[in-house]
Structure 1
Amino acid sequence: MARDFDAPRGGDGDDDLQEQSLEALKAQRVGAAADLGDDVDALEADLDLPDAEVRDEELALRVLPRQADEFTCTSCFLVHHRSQLADVRRTVCSDCAA
């Protein structure tokens, strides 16, 4: 299921729909936990994994190679613009040098 994160959010009329959807999701979760049977511990059934919804979704991101005016910090391993280079010898960004 693809989500459009750039789409405008709904107004006040969507609150009832969202509450109904939330209740339906909670009912599905309880039903799914009941279908698992005795193999699932009660604590595991209550455990809410943050990435459970996106586990089966494929993410499509275009990754650009490091540009000529960028560097990779040897401390935090993030790619920064050359203007944030604090130590040329160690190639450390200004955030890590502080």
Structure 2
Amino acid sequence: MATDYDAPRNNDEDKEAESLEALQANRGSKSQSASVDVEDADTAEGIDLPGADLSGEELLIQVIPPQDDEFTCSSCFLVRHRSQVARQKGDLLFCRECEG
């Protein structure tokens, strides 16, 4: 929010009086609603409890095999592009982020 430093300053008592008057005026003019907006995501239907039986569930994720220009970091286990290789120790490849 922009502040106009050239504008005359009001003292704190004026601000408190103005805000109290504004609050009292707003209280009478606006009616408050007792209803609460609830989204579908807020309900407990989408929550899986620990130990829940998920044997009947089917995953809808498409797994893509590693590409020729990708590797899996042996430290963080993230799939990275070959340009991110920082060190190779035998068959193990390490990314730049893990090597610092």
TM-score interval, smaller chain = 0.3 to 0.5
TM-score w.r.t. structure 1 length?
0.43
Instruction: Indicate the structure with greater helix content.
Output: 1
Higher alpha-carbon Rg: 2
